[in-house]
Structure 1
Amino acid sequence: MKAFFVKIIGFFINLISFISPRTAGKMAIKLFSSPRKIKLKEVEKDFLDTAFTEDIKYAGLSIRTYRWLGKNDTILLAHGWESNSFRWKPLIEKLKTLDYNIVALDAPAHGHSTGKLFNAILYAECINIVAKKFEANIIIGHSVGGMATAFFQQKYQLKSVEKLVLLGAPSNFVGVFRRYVNMMSYNERVSQTMNELILERFNEKPDYFNAARLSEHIKADGLIIHDELDKIIPYNDAEDFKTFYKKSKLIKTKGYGHGLRAEEVNDYILDFINT
């Protein structure tokens, strides 16, 4: 049923493109950049209420941060699309036993952060201000949170950051856009106009935003974990990262999907950050 409605929306935007490609392109970009605002469950609220919370301002947005205090290195956690900081609960509990200083943020338009639109470039800027404020030593990002983490560190090379962990991270905008276009069955008019709008907005074409290629400039050590059966972000994206991110190692898992919610994955992370 969900796939049926997706195709209907795509068909509608395609029709508009015959009248106004620009209008259709704007609609497609807005849809692509508008996560659902998912209300937190009581169990999620209860856990997040155990943290110290602080809202940090950026570009008219209020970015919610959560902190569990510890004496060891500061670890910053960046979740993915339509998620929130609760997704890290099992890992946070392990990190707390090791007395790490833990910071998690809700991305723009997610959780308790404000905003209606979201993209990896904006997320990278939010990660930057949070990482600077709390002097993060290690950053762990899932999915688009991993892509945004790579964009952030490549751009700012924050000296306090010593290690990055990228979990199921997309390696480039072109691939993400292609999968979105295919899912919606957009025609060439819509696809081309989307690319033109990205150029207008960011002064770069979509192919510039290749997190894997840009990661060759990152000096921090990296760990890339990706499931070979990931149906959201293909495993090839992890191999792209490994090709360019010379200071990283790649771990392939099987059966954990895109979410990578598994004790084994958390153990890989702990082994990496503890060495």
Structure 2
Amino acid sequence: MELVNKIAYFTLTKSIGLYINLMSYLFPKKAAKLAYKFFSEPREGRLLPNAIPDILKEAEQEVLFHEEYAIQTYTWRGNENKILLVHGWESNASRWEQFIVLLKKTKSTIIALDGPGQGLSSGIEFNIPQYAKHVNALMEKFQPQFIIGHSMGGATCLYYQYKYNNPLVQKMVLLGSPSEFEIILNNYKKTISLNQKAFQLLKEKFVERFNIHPSEFSGKKFASNFNFKGLIAHDIDDTVVSFNEGKKIAEAWKSAQFIETKGLGHSLHDEALYEKINLFLFEE
């Protein structure tokens, strides 16, 4: 069955790419719109209100409204130490379950959110600039000192701090986070076999949408401006985000430490790693 699913997915993605390639010559604006749509709309990560995981049921649930979006938030009340958890692509706040169990032992206040178009939050499209706006809404309301992001959530944390320069952030932790957005785009191009014309249309759409060129959207560039402490963990067996991406960020961020792991893959779920993060956050 797994092989059948892989073949079906491969056929679907290549068919989408072929269609967009054809449209790029006939209707370029429509081609750009379609290419961006398939790039930015998560297929997984939604939650049903009557079937949320137990770890999220334990939290205080609140919906924040920002612009036209409803942002689902979760808070586990504790002391004045506040930690914001930012999940990645095709996921939701429940991905932090194992870590939350350990974090609760520190008596900290833990805050998490569902990203745009994921969990119980509204929206269809997931993109870093919009996600950063959601993060900013939580930062303004809860004012956490610590922020932790996984994968695209980590990339969002980097962009958020670069964009908003929040002086309240004392420490940041990145887990399996990408650095260069152009690499993400190139991987998408290869996955659905976009031709060069369609790929150029996609990049132009990105610039039109966010007023920043993909080449300028760089985690290492953002991190090079930080002077607070950071912790970056990346697994050498990560098949989703290259290990070198984590190294790039660490090399640019002078006040950050780097943890290399093996065998944890992209998820980086590991009690020993979580204990190291706790020590980093609460060391004197």
* TM bracket, shorter-chain basis: over 0.9
Shift of 1:99: 0.2
Counterparts of 1:178 and 1:44, CA distance in 2 = 35
Contact 2:46 2:118 in 1 (8 A): no
Describe the SS at the equivalent of 2:233.
Answer: strand
Matching of residue 202 in structure 1 with residue 210 in structure 2: yes
Aligned partner of 1:164 in structure 2 is 172
Amino acid at match of 1:20: F
Amino acid at match of 1:191: F
Contact 2:151 2:175 in 1 (8 A): yes
- 1:239-261 CA-to-partner distances (Å, cap 9, x unmatched) read 11012111111111111111111
Matching of residue 59 in structure 1 with residue 62 in structure 2: no
- 1:64-107 CA-to-partner distances (Å, cap 9, x unmatched) read 11000001410000000111111111111111111011000110
Matching of residue 183 in structure 1 with residue 191 in structure 2: yes
Amino acid at match of 1:212: K
Aligned partner of 1:274 in structure 2 is 282
Aligned pairs (5 A) from 1:120-269? 120-269=128-277
Aligned partner of 1:34 in structure 2 is 41
Percent identity of equivalent pairs: 37
Counterparts of 1:266 and 1:230, CA distance in 2 = 17
Shift of 1:43: 7.3
Matching of residue 69 in structure 1 with residue 77 in structure 2: yes
TM norm structure 1: 0.96
Q: Aligned pair in 2 of structure 1 residues 204, 38: CA closer, same or farther (>3 Å)?
A: closer
Shift of 1:209: 0.9
- 1:6-29 CA-to-partner distances (Å, cap 9, x unmatched) read 111111211211212222121011
Q: Aligned pair in 2 of structure 1 residues 222, 8: CA closer, same or farther (>3 Å)?
A: same
Matching of residue 101 in structure 1 with residue 109 in structure 2: yes
Shift of 1:46: 2.4
Counterparts of 1:46 and 1:255, CA distance in 2 = 28
Counterparts of 1:60 and 1:242, CA distance in 2 = 36
Aligned partner of 1:48 in structure 2 is 56
Shift of 1:51: 0.6
Shift of 1:119: 0.4
Contact 1:141 1:167 in 2 (8 A): yes
Structure 1: gaps spanning 5 or more residues? none
Name the Cα RMSD after superposition. 1.4
Aligned partner of 1:18 in structure 2 is 25
The count of corresponding residues between Structure 1 and Structure 2 is: 275
Mean Cα deviation higher: 153-162 or 177-186: 153-162
Amino acid at match of 1:185: S
